[in-house]
Structures are given as structure tokens and as C-alpha cells.
Structure 1
Amino acid sequence: MNCKSQLNEFEYYVMFEKGTEPPFSGELLNEKREGVYICKCCENPLFDSISKFDSGSGWPSFYEPLGKDSVKEHTDTSLGMVRTEVVCAKCGAHLGHVFEDGPPPSGLRYCINSVCLKFLPLENNNLFK
């Protein structure tokens, strides 16, 4: 995707070299407004604020993606463990991981790096109209 050239060095590291931001450092961790979280690279809609919850993990957490075309999941065996990586379904950017310790209704916790997201507040976007 052409968007890679628009990212700063750290954003590129997290999104395309599968890095992670330090816990409790992301600017969207405490975002409470209604809206949609989109991919910082390709602007694919990823998560709705309705599914966001405070997991205490230090990263924005969601119990489900916005839709079936939002994210894809892959097995990640790095760091000597087996996890499920979450990537943007449109551009393939690494977003974070999903774990099976989330709240109902899904029981899932999509643990997403804030640096990979843009937030579109409900009052300022056309996705809801």
C-alpha cells in the first residue's frame, strides 16, 4: 500500500514490522466518545466505539470488529508462544492480537495498538449517515 510512506518511523515499525507500543502510552487508550476506529494506513473501518472496553491491559481493547471485512486473523508463533495476530483486512497492517478473555457477547479481547488507529468521532464523520 502506498500509505506506508505517510507513516512516521514508529507507526511503520508497529504496523509493518509487527512491533508494539508500550502499554498505557497510546493516545486512544482513554478515548470515550462515540465513533469509529479506522486503520491509520488505509482508513478501513475496524472497530466501533460500542465494542470498546477498559481491559486494564494498557492498550485499546474491543470485543468485536466492526464487520467481516474489517480485520483478518493469523497464527503468530513469535516470542516462543502461540497467539492470534490481528491485521487490517484491507492493507494487511499489523494491529495487535486477539485473546479469549474478553467480555460478553463475544468473550474476545482485541488488544490493538493505538498508533495503528485513527478515531472518527460520531459527530464528525459520514460513516453513520
Structure 2
Amino acid sequence: MLEQSMLLKDHLLKLYSQNAFVTLLKMEILTLDTRLAKLSMPVLADMHTNLYQTAHGGALASLADTAMGMACATTGKKVVTLDMNLNYIRAAECPAALTAVGTVIHDGSRTMVAEADIVDSDGNLIVKARGTFFVTGTFL
């Protein structure tokens, strides 16, 4: 069982490191554990910001969605997002280093529910997200 868990983790690390969208937004995987994914993303002026030079809501949504989807994937299930809700709590000033922690809160056979918190380097909550994911298959 431990060997299969390591194979899955290695597979996910390779899969996400080759994903063009994850690479474009400069997301990095910090931690992968069963039902948990921790990612980082910078807020760069020429890439991630809105008119006010704070993190664009779309970039934050992408980070949250990726963290939740990866948390689901650590269970060995392939998922796609059905629904996602985000509460934008405060602005992330540029430049900033953000961390997203995605956790699975429901692991069903057909659907999964996950949450993500995005915080800045001072630990301030930037975004609280929740998503429902449809299980399309399994990895490995």
C-alpha cells in the first residue's frame, strides 16, 4: 500500500509539473499527502494582477481550483470541477507569495468536496474556497 501511495505521488508530481497552465501561473507543489495538497504561487505584476496591482481574482480562483483538484487526486481519483465557490477576504498585494492548502472533506464514489485556503506570507487569509468535483476515473 505504501509503495502504491509513493507511485501515485510521483505520478502526480510529474503530471502537474508538465501541465502548461500550472507552469504558466508559476504554481509550485510544496506538499502532497493523502487528501491534502499545498501549493505556492507568486503574485507578479506582469502576470497575476488586475488594474489595481493586486492579485487578479481569476489567478486566485485557478490556484484554489488546482489545490482542491490535487487534494482530490491524492486519493487516486481523477476529477473535474463541477462547482466552485470563492470568498475573497482581502487583496493580495503585488509582489506577494501565496500559499494554497487544499483538503478533501468528502470522498465519495462519484463526487468529492474539497476546501482551499489561500494565505499570504504573513498568514493573512486571502481566499476561502469550496468545490464539488466529479470523479471521472482513477490514476494508475
TM-score, structure 1 as length reference: 0.31
Q: Which of the two has greater strand per residue?
A: 2
Larger Rg: 2
Query: TM-score, normalising length from structure 2?
Result: 0.29
More helix by share: 2
Choose between structure 1 and 2 for higher RCO, CA contacts under 8 A separated by at least 6 residues.
1
